[in-house]
Amino acid sequence: MNIVIKNLGLQPYEATWQAMQDFTDHRTESTADELWIVEHPAVFTQGLNGKAEHLLHATDIPIVQTDRGGQITYHGPGQTIVYVLVDLKRAKLGVRALVTALENSIIEYLQQLGIDSSARADAPGVYVNGQKIASLGLKIRKQRSYHGLALNVNMDLSPFKTVNPCGLQGMLMTQVSDYVAQENLPTTEQAGLVLSEILKHLINPSVD
């Protein structure tokens, strides 16, 4: 079954989270999987394993307690997010295999931009020169996934200094614009579309 890619643009975090839950709760065995490309206004999201001490300073940016795995992270304009709404049983994917597909899609996309990156066994996400360029967080409900990946493209990284990103003390964040000349820099929409096409074929190699 083909995977539907939807480009939703700038959307409020909580409304999008609710839409992901609704989609997952109401989908059937015949519902096509979907990838949602979005950006969010500035927001911190705290995962199920989140610990209060990873918020280092008071902030005016809202903090949302969410139901994905992982710790606290930041979303904001200039960051490409791809939410992954996949029936794992139908796709014959385990959770670890899905995480690997997310990481590999980012690594492959960054390679196209001339950026060498890698994953870490001890901390999900993608890293360039020891700095984190992309974060992952998933929720699996009845063998169906939602939430997904966030790739820093061209954003204000300073809010990350307010937290231990994803619970990693002292972790420095980086972004595509640190490695790609301005005239070659993709928009968040362009990044999301290419990334989603790569991910689509990693999740289901048989799709067109």
Phi-psi region of 147 (alpha: psi -120 to 50; beta: other; left: phi over 0): left
- The reply to whether 151 sits in an annotated binding site is no
Q: Give the percent of the chain with pLDDT over 90.
A: 75
CATH number at residue 22: 3.30.930.10
Which of 171, 162, 176, 12 has the alpha carbon at shortest distance from 80? Answer: 176
Write down the pLDDT at residue 92: 94
Write down the pLDDT at residue 52: 66
| 28-79: pLDDT as tens digits | 999 999 999 999 999 999 888 767 666 767 788 998 999 998 788 899 999 9
- The set of catalytic residues is 166
Does residue 136 form part of some domain? yes
Beta-strand relationship, 43-46 and 63-65:
parallel
Does residue 208 form part of some domain? no
- The reply to whether 74 sits in an annotated binding site is yes
Paired tokens of 56: 């280092």
| 136-150: pLDDT as tens digits | 999 999 999 999 999
Paired tokens of 153: 């493209």
Does residue 155 form part of some domain? yes
DSSP code for 87: B
Does residue 31 form part of some domain? yes
Mean pLDDT, the chain, integer? 92
- The reply to whether 136 sits in an annotated binding site is yes
Does residue 197 form part of some domain? yes
Of residues 56 and 13, more confidence is placed in 13
Q: Which domain holds residue 124?
A: 4-203
- The reply to whether 179 sits in an annotated binding site is no
pLDDT band at residue 168 under the 50/70/90 scheme: low
Does residue 157 form part of some domain? yes
188-203 vs 95-112: helix axis angle to the nearest 10? 130
Does residue 28 form part of some domain? yes
- The reply to whether 101 sits in an annotated binding site is no
Q: What is the domain count for the chain?
A: 1
DSSP code for 61: S
Does residue 113 form part of some domain? yes
